[in-house]
A and B are shown apart, each in its own frame.
Chain A
């Protein structure tokens, strides 16, 4: 089974930087789309190295929170910071983000996509880094194939490789198991566990309990854009995860 080691020390490619443990801090974050509040007064502190699951019904604000954390969406009000992020780190504290879509180009090959995003993020030896990741996600044999020819599971693997290409210290996953078969989910759970153990902070949105949710050290429940439960405040992981899947 291929393994992801986004920030490990075993990489044959010399790392572009040493990983600095990075957390996330949302301070009174609001996000409005027109008159609609997607997030309301969200304050959340995630410690470096935590593996946090965001749960909640559809439309509760999980994706928006992750997109704010990825700095793709700017908060309407409030502040986001990355405590502990080193400005010298490869991605300048830039998180890795895996969304519902692959966020890679269908008309480029798997290798071309990874080299493109490695170059844009200032990774030294982008071709070597791409090769390393392609081997780790099990796509090396298909490195020259266009992404549009990939199956759903393969697309998810290339999406994960893209998110890891700059060795981020924070990894954000939006429903990472979508489209994966049971084998793929096991692979993802194992790989995410390795990434998290290597010191990377992981935040992911999930529906219900699964092999992946078993990795969580903390769960936070969102409803109508607000945080309504947090295992840190005493709520049980099980109740949050099952409510999220209801």
Chain B
């Protein structure tokens, strides 16, 4: 059984269980919405301030929401020891990671796409002219968050203080992604937009490096 067909089967399972329970999506959407609304009312930014701080706030909200979303990723495999049955069933454990990180990226992207119009309205920032570049940054940033987060979720699920451990490990590790994604987003939403290709390249390389590391060492993260 090939890696890709196992990944597709497991991805189907992830999507089915999530769309049946809607636990992760509901939590994430509500969290990002609350953060965006709270900051919008607390700061009441001017148009210029919105352009400067808005993207940073958006990425902070995405990062915190992602840490909420990633926590149950492996944790919910523990109640019935389903992780063991998956490991027993698949030839390559990377399929388990790949399915989970693709599912997490899709959930995160779906949330972001739902939130973007609200972000534009609350912060009075026109996003349509640069939408395609913005979506590219969101895709690469979300993928990076999901790759690193899925790996750390596997580690933290087996630890004693698991609820505390994931954010503790995740937030420092994702600081580069957060900084670069926010910087690229700010430049895209300037009055005279600039596409920072170096930043986009950094995000792509970050994703590639972490994905390779996960492929090489992921098996050990699932061991008891």
Contact (A121, B89) CB under 8 Å given A72-B224, A107-B21: yes
- Inter-chain CA distance A74–B87, complex, in Å, is 12
A40 to B79 Cα, complex, angstroms: 29
Judging by beta carbons under 8 Å apart, are A73 and B224 in contact?
yes
A117 within 8 A of B: yes
Distance in Å from the Cβ of A107 to the closest Cβ of chain B?
A: 5
Contact with B along A98-120 (1 / 0, CB 8 A): 01111111111000100011011
Against A, the Cβ 8 Å flags (1 = close, 0 = not) of B77-109 are 001111011111111000000000000000000
Q: Which of B5, B16, B82, B89 has the most CB of A within 10 A?
A: B89
The residue of chain B having its C-beta at the shortest distance from the C-beta of A122 within the complex is B1
Task: Indicate whether A162 reaches chain B with its CB closer than 8 angstroms.
Answer: yes
Report the nearest A residue to B95, measured CB to CB. A120
In the complex, chain A residues whose CB is within 8 Å of the CB of B198: none
A interface footprint on B6-22 (CB within 8 Å = 1, 0 otherwise): 10011001001100110
Point out which of B81, B88, B89, B223 has the most chain A C-beta atoms below 10 A from its C-beta: B88
Main secondary structure of the interface of B (DSSP, over half): helix
- A103 vs B86: C-alpha distance when bound (angstroms): 9
- By the criterion CB–CB under 8 Å, are B80 and A120 in contact? no
A77 to chain B, nearest CB (A): 15
B54-71 interface bits toward A, Cβ cutoff 8 Å, 1 = contact, 0 = none: 000000000000000000
- How would residues 184 to 224 of chain B score, 1 for a CB under 8 Å from any chain A CB and 0 otherwise? 00000000000000000000000000000000000000011
Are B13's CB and A105's CB within 8 A? yes
A232 at the interface (CB under 8 A from B): no
User: From A105, which residue of chain B is reached at the shortest CB distance?
Assistant: B82
Distance between Cα atoms of A73 and B86 in the complex (Å): 13
Q: Which residue of B lies closest to A70 (CB)?
A: B88
Say how far A193's CB is from chain B's closest CB, in angstroms: 24
Contact of B87 among A33, A72, A99, A116 (CB under 8 A): A72
Q: A116 to B224, Cβ gap below 8 A?
A: no
Q: A92 contacts the other chain (Cβ, under 8 Å)?
A: yes
Residue of A nearest to B96 (CB): A120
Residues from chain B with Cβ under 8 Å of A157 in the complex = none
In contact, A105 and B224 (Cβ under 8 angstroms): no
- Contact assessment for A94 and B20 in the assembled complex, using a CB-CB cutoff below 8 Å: no
Binding site for A on B (CB under 8 A): 1, 5-6, 9-10, 13, 16-17, 20-21, 79-82, 84-91, 223-224
- Give A contacts to B, CB under 8 Å: 33, 67, 70-74, 92, 94-95, 97, 99-108, 112, 116-117, 119-122, 162, 166
A–B complex contacts, Cβ < 8 Å, 18 sampled = A67-B84, A67-B224, A72-B84, A73-B223, A97-B85, A99-B81, A99-B84, A103-B80, A103-B85, A104-B80, A104-B85, A112-B16, A116-B9, A116-B13, A119-B5, A119-B9, A120-B1, A162-B85
List 13 additional A-B contacts (Cβ < 8 Å) besides A71-B88, A97-B85, A102-B80: A92-B91, A94-B88, A99-B81, A104-B82, A105-B13, A105-B82, A106-B79, A107-B17, A108-B16, A108-B17, A120-B1, A120-B86, A162-B85
